[in-house]
């Protein structure tokens, strides 16, 4: 599969699962996986699942703006960078975010999330003025 298609397919699957059945995200991680969520480091599939499922909202909607990918140093691995926004129920304003995934191959021929870094992007108007 084309790397760009692979990364877009993964991103669509990840955020659809996050938005509709967050408990199922545990299947995308392994015990060696690490998540950095707003600066907090969490290791292991169960701990990552616990963190994601303890967020103070049950529902949200991710809207993806960009997906970029590169091959990683791991044999057959990929780095995927995502930017977009998310909306929480009852909230008028969208929250901008960036997320990076390091996907590592499994012996079965699929991929798992080895590294995951998530940040909300504050000050979006200022960034748009500079980069705009």
Residue-wise pLDDT for 22-77, tens only, equals: 999 999 999 999 999 999 999 999 999 999 999 988 889 999 999 999 999 767 89
More confident residue, 74 or 88: 88
Residue 102 backbone dihedrals phi, psi, to 5 degrees: -110, 110
Q: How far apart are CA 84 and CA 64, in angstroms?
A: 4
For residue 13, the number of C-alpha atoms closer than 13 Å in the C-beta half-sphere is 14
- Tokens 């909202």 belong to 57
Residue ranges per structural domain of the chain: 3-131
Under CATH, to which class is 3-131 assigned?
alpha beta
Number of Cβ atoms within 10 Å of the Cβ of 49: 20
Is the overall model pTM greater than 0.85, yes or no?
yes
């Amino acid at each position: 599969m084309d790397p760009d298609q692979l990364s877009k397919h993964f991103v669509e699957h990840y955020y659809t699962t996050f938005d509709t059945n967050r408990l199922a995200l545990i299947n995308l991680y392994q015990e060696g996986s690490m998540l950095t969520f707003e600066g907090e480091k969490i290791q292991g599939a169960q701990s990552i699942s616990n963190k994601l499922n303890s967020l103070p909202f049950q529902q949200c909607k991710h809207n993806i703006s960009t997906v970029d990918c590169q091959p990683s140093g791991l044999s057959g691995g990929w780095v995927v960078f995502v930017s977009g926004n998310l909306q929480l129920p009852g909230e008028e304003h969208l929250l901008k975010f960036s997320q990076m995934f390091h996907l590592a191959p499994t012996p079965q021929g699929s991929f798992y999330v080895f590294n995951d870094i998530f940040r909300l992007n504050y000050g979006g108007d200022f960034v748009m003025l500079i980069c705009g």
